[in-house]
Amino acid sequence: MGKSQQKESSNRRKEIRRKAAKKATLRNAPRPDSVKQRMIRDHLDVLQNIETILVAYHRDHPQVDDRFAMGVLTAAKQEKPDENPEVMECLQALRAIRQLRDDISDRVWRDALTAIQQSIRFHSNLKPGTRSYLGYASAFVP
């Protein structure tokens, strides 16, 4: 292969990589009208309340992972008990925060739970033992 063919091949690979990176960025970027974006814009404090509970529980119980956090949020959205006592303990802390936040509607609370679930899916592969979301969120919780 001559130098010009090598250069052309290299340029094609670079262009393919550039397009793939752009596509991945667009695919992962939240839509301006998404629940997550709306909650960040309008109710960041509610998101912080919920994430503080999840991160605090993780700090006290380092064995819990991103799947645990997702399970807690799912149980909170379904408003029913969970068989796992750790999930129930964390869920009780979330319910206490919910009672303190009587200034927001149930819809806002559910949307906040959904937004955090979206964040967990974005930051974690949800495989057992993965704590990438909890590590990420810990950086924002003192």
69-125 pLDDT, tens digit per residue, is: 999 999 999 977 778 899 999 999 999 999 999 999 999 999 999 999 999 999 999
Give the least confident one: 3-7, 14-18, 138-142.
Answer: 3-7
Instruction: Count up the domains in the chain and report the number.
Output: 2
Q: Please tell me whether residues 85 and 100 are part of one structural domain.
A: yes
Question: What is the pTM assigned to this prediction?
Answer: 0.75
Please, what is the angle between helix 44-60 and helix 85-100, to 10°?
Answer: 150
Q: Please tell me whether residues 90 and 63 are part of one structural domain.
A: yes
CA distance 27 to 33: 15
Q: Please tell me whether residues 41 and 22 are part of one structural domain.
A: no
Q: Please tell me whether residues 4 and 58 are part of one structural domain.
A: no
Q: Please tell me whether residues 4 and 74 are part of one structural domain.
A: no
Q: Please tell me whether residues 43 and 110 are part of one structural domain.
A: yes
CA distance 64 to 135: 12
**Could you give phi then psi for residue 126, rounded to 5 degrees?**
60, 20
